[in-house]
């Protein structure tokens, strides 16, 4: 995301997804949903209210994101991609830290 935001391309064709990219993204999303579903199965909880709440919240957040993106997306496009990329890197480092404790051993907190 960060590299794409920094690249100075006048071609704006990168905003459109082709069928191959859509299929790959849908498979990745399905694998994520499968992992969450398996985790819920181990917890022995009522899955219907949780699925409904996850679906409603996801729909609302995505819908609001699309509305905001249509209004101010052209102005903040590159900045939003850079910030999004930095946030994803920080989330990845946090997950790595939680599972390996490598980063916390490097710094004294």
Kindly state whether residue 89 falls inside one of the protein's structural domains.
Answer: yes
Kindly state whether residue 4 falls inside one of the protein's structural domains.
Answer: no
- What does each C-alpha distance from 60 to 3, 28, 29, 36, 38 come to in angstroms? 29, 21, 18, 20, 25
The rounded radius of gyration (Å) of the Cα atoms in the chain is 18
Kindly state whether residue 87 falls inside one of the protein's structural domains.
Answer: yes
DSSP 8-class letter at 9? -
Kindly state whether residue 23 falls inside one of the protein's structural domains.
Answer: yes
pLDDT for the residue numbered 84: 84
Q: What is the pLDDT of residues 7-40, one digit of tens each?
A: 755 555 556 678 888 888 888 888 888 888 888 8
Question: By mean pLDDT, which of 1-5, 23-27, 72-76, 105-109 is the weakest?
Answer: 105-109
What's the average model confidence in pLDDT over 48-60? 90
* Alpha-helical segments (H) within the chain: 2-6, 19-43, 47-100, 102-106
Q: Cβ-count burial of 85 within 10 angstroms (0-12 exposed, 13-18 middle, 19+ buried)?
A: middle
pLDDT tier, 56 (very low <50, low <70, confident <90, very high otherwise): very high
- Residue 31 has, within 13 A of its CA and on its CB side, a CA count of 6
**Residue ranges making up the domain that contains 72:** 18-106
pLDDT for the residue numbered 12: 55
Single pTM value for the model: 0.55
Kindly state whether residue 13 falls inside one of the protein's structural domains.
Answer: no
Overall number of domains in the chain: 1
Neighbours of 18 (CB within 10 A): 8
pLDDT for the residue numbered 64: 94
Kindly state whether residue 44 falls inside one of the protein's structural domains.
Answer: yes
Kindly state whether residue 5 falls inside one of the protein's structural domains.
Answer: no
Kindly state whether residue 12 falls inside one of the protein's structural domains.
Answer: no
């Amino acid at each position: 995301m960060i590299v794409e935001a920094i690249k100075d391309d006048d071609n704006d064709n990168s905003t459109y997804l082709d069928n191959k990219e859509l299929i790959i993204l849908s498979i990745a999303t399905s694998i994520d949903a499968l992992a969450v579903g398996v985790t819920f199965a181990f917890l022995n909880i009522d899955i219907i209210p949780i699925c409904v709440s996850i679906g409603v919240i996801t729909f609302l957040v995505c819908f609001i994101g699309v509305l905001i993106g249509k209004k101010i997306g052209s102005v903040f496009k590159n900045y939003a991609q850079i910030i999004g990329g930095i946030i994803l890197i920080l989330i990845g480092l946090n997950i790595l830290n939680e599972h390996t404790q490598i980063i916390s051993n490097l710094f004294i907190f």
